[in-house]
Amino acid sequence: MNAKTDFEAIFREYYPYLYNLSNKVLNDRSTAEDIVQSVFLSVWKKRVELKISTSWRSYLSRAVVNACYDYLKKSARMVSLNKVEADAVHTTEEAVAHAELQQNIKKAIARLPEKCRLIFTMSRFEGLSSAEIADNMNLSKKTVDNQIGIALTKLREELKPYITLKVIIILLLLLLLIG
């Protein structure tokens, strides 16, 4: 008998058992198959210097289990690293988008007509009620409410390209908290 024939006999005898063992550990047929094949490939490459003091079954079982655990550890690290990367990118993108949106909101407010801008700013950023603004500016409450409505309509139209539904909800919540 030669080494190739011996190896083929060992492969045929132990492959089904090792595949089932690997699949039990990983619960992933394709990866289990890859791992068992890589263990056999490693054994073939080391066949000259390989000295097994236990049975082939025991040696190959331990090699497959160790390879499975190495795979799981590597997978867990990759998932963790990918999550950290995704979180960092997501946070950076959100920060940039938030800063850009704030800048566009400030510009849009600055482009409002002066009286409309003043009433909107007093309402939303100073927290004054329509009645308080009307008293301060010698206007009717209805005029103040109309000016706030005009400001919101103009801002909504001007900021439409920048605002998603999520941002609109957050912006409205912030405005409610402020005012």
Q: What b/e sequence results for 28-63 when a residue is b if at least 16 CB atoms lie within 10 Å of its CB, and e otherwise?
A: eeebbbebbeebbeebeeeeeeeeeeeeeeebbbeb
Residue type (1 letter), 31: T
pTM of the entire predicted model? 0.45
State how far the alpha carbon of 12 is from the alpha carbons of 1, 15, 31, 59, 117, in Å: 16, 6, 19, 16, 82
Tens of pLDDT, residue by residue, the chain (179 residues): 467 778 888 889 999 999 998 888 888 899 999 999 999 898 888 888 878 888 888 888 888 888 988 888 887 766 666 566 666 555 666 666 667 777 888 888 899 999 999 998 898 888 889 999 999 999 999 999 999 889 888 888 887 776 665 566 566 666 666 55
